[in-house]
Amino acid sequence: MSLTEWLHRADSHGATSKALVCGERSYSYSELKEVITRVAAAFVEMKLPKGARICILSQNSDRAIISFWAAIWAGYIPNLMNTRWSVRELELSLADCEASLLLVDDSFIESGEALEKACGFLDRLIFIGERKDASSGTLSYEQLITASPCDDRSGTASDDVLLNYTGGTTGKGKGVVHTHSSISSALNICFAENFYDHRKTLGLVVPLFHISGILCMAATLRSQGCLVVVPAFEPSRVLRLISEFNVETMMMVPTMCRMLVSSEDFNKHDLSSLTSILYGGSPIDKSLLHELFNALPNAEFFQVYGQTEGAPISFLHPETHRARGDEERLGSAGNVAHGVSVSVRDSNGKELAEGEVGEVCFKGEHVMNRYWNQPETTAQTINDGWCHSGDVGYMDSGYLYIVDRLKDMIISGGENVYTTEVENVLAACPGVSECAVIGVEDETWGERVHAYVVLGTSNQHDLDVIQRHCRQSLAGYKVPRSFSILDALPLTAVGKIDKVALRRMAL
């Protein structure tokens, strides 16, 4: 099945239903199909090679979404680029995937012009924003939509459908290639688990360049819901849009959840329409989860665990969240998803028994096809059909627990220290607002635990107090031996704590 199947139904099922809202613009399903097929025709008229890569550097917007689907409809491969990368990083990504077109919005027109000069292989720079001062030689969105609609050229289930670069929190990003089949399978898993409801209004606040943004957007359109597109996450704007458009569901990372519930505008808007909070992307501390329970009593909570190479892997369902007293289960990544297999393995590839800690490996029809131009890395990651996640975890009574990233695990005096365990204890300490833990070199122990903490405004704790708190719950070798106090933790483009940046700070 082609991923464009929902577009073929747009004229017959719910044609007049609202599909997308972005600022002052809104589209019915038939209107959205019309403009997507027009932009696709404009791409086809450029006579690009089959499977050409079309890179989109844009904040969340209607035009970015239209361009994404137009590329697929035309038989090309869209790559929604990381908007927080430097020009140099963007240049490397464009070169890596040998892009034919680069589309930019208002925020990136200067970067786009610099990239066009640096990347001689680009056929065209196209402006999909609102500003009127784009260079005269740049093709505009208004010119694209003058083309006459074209037929679907998207291909078959086994064809490549999109390229999505990993966030690179553990190093250089890799280009993950998905097919029509793998993304369709991911959506089928989500629907089977009731992660997405049909015909719901979803506030699209996660960035489109993240796999969760792509899946949220695609699932909403496939189920004939309505997308309320938020260009960038600003709590006051998000709260206003929830109230204005009766947003029913949103996908957020924990950092977004914290920012939303901590906003001074939180109690100024009617949020009663918000009945479903989807979250994932990084661990969430239980204190924040309980704060969300109290702040949004009408909402069901649903956690998803996955990664760019294959999402979803597991779900923590609403019924587990409802059992508020089951703190242990709330700290898990939930049950393995429908149609997915999980195996926890040691460094030799041997499957471990329940309760034993090892690397989480998974398989399913939703797993990526390959890394772009990296056959050796692909072979290392996917072995005998099993995708190696790089996450350390264990199974217990049907629940999957993630304790760390393999590359984040600290080895101190020959003992493994899982940073998530230490961070959960730190987060429960009164006066600690946010925290992150890394390993730093130590002459005696090889590595020692170093903690970065953000203190609450009303509680300026002595670090000895925090350390004593940790000793009550952790073995001595797990207790942070050194601390840094920060005003805020550095974040990646998708709101995860940037441990690469923290390690640089520790040098």
- Per residue in 5-32, pLDDT (tens digit) is 999 998 887 789 999 999 999 999 999 9
As a whole number, the mean pLDDT across the chain is 93
Report if residue 351 sits inside a domain. Answer: no
Structural domain ending residue among the three candidates 155, 182, 202: 155
Helix (H, G, I), strand (E, B) or coil at 259: helix
Cα–Cα distance measured from residue 151 to residue 37, given in angstroms and rounded to the nearest whole number? 8
User: CB under 8 Å to 399, separation ≥6 — which residues?
Assistant: 329, 332, 333, 334, 335
Can you give the residue range of the structural domain that contains 442?
408-506
Report if residue 398 sits inside a domain. Answer: no
Report if residue 282 sits inside a domain. Answer: no
For residue 365, how many other CB atoms are within 10 A of its CB?
Answer: 15
- Per residue in 153-188, pLDDT (tens digit) is 999 999 999 999 985 444 456 999 999 999 999 999
Number of domains in the chain: 2
Structural domain ending residue among the three candidates 155, 170, 198: 155
The DSSP secondary structure of 52-80, one letter per residue, reads: -EEEEE-SS-HHHHHHHHHHHHTT-EEEE
- Per residue in 92-148, pLDDT (tens digit) is 899 999 999 999 999 999 999 999 999 999 999 999 998 876 666 689 999 999 999
Q: What is the pTM of this model?
A: 0.88
**Residue carrying structure tokens 């109690």:** 267
Q: From residue 182, how far is each of 177, 205, 372, 411 by CA, in Å?
A: 10, 24, 15, 36
What CATH number is attached to the domain comprising 31? 3.40.50.980
CB 38 within 8 A of CB 149: yes
What CATH number is attached to the domain comprising 500? 3.30.300.30
- Per residue in 368-405, pLDDT (tens digit) is 999 999 999 999 999 999 999 999 999 999 999 998 88
The per-residue b/e assignment along 167-203, b for 16 or more CB within 10 angstroms, e otherwise, is: bbbeeebbbbbbbbbbbbbbbbbbbebebbbeebbbb
Report if residue 27 sits inside a domain. Answer: yes
Which tokens go with 94? 């464009």
Structural domain ending residue among the three candidates 120, 155, 190: 155
Q: Which of 65, 49, 39 is nearest to 149 (CA)?
A: 39
Report if residue 369 sits inside a domain. Answer: no
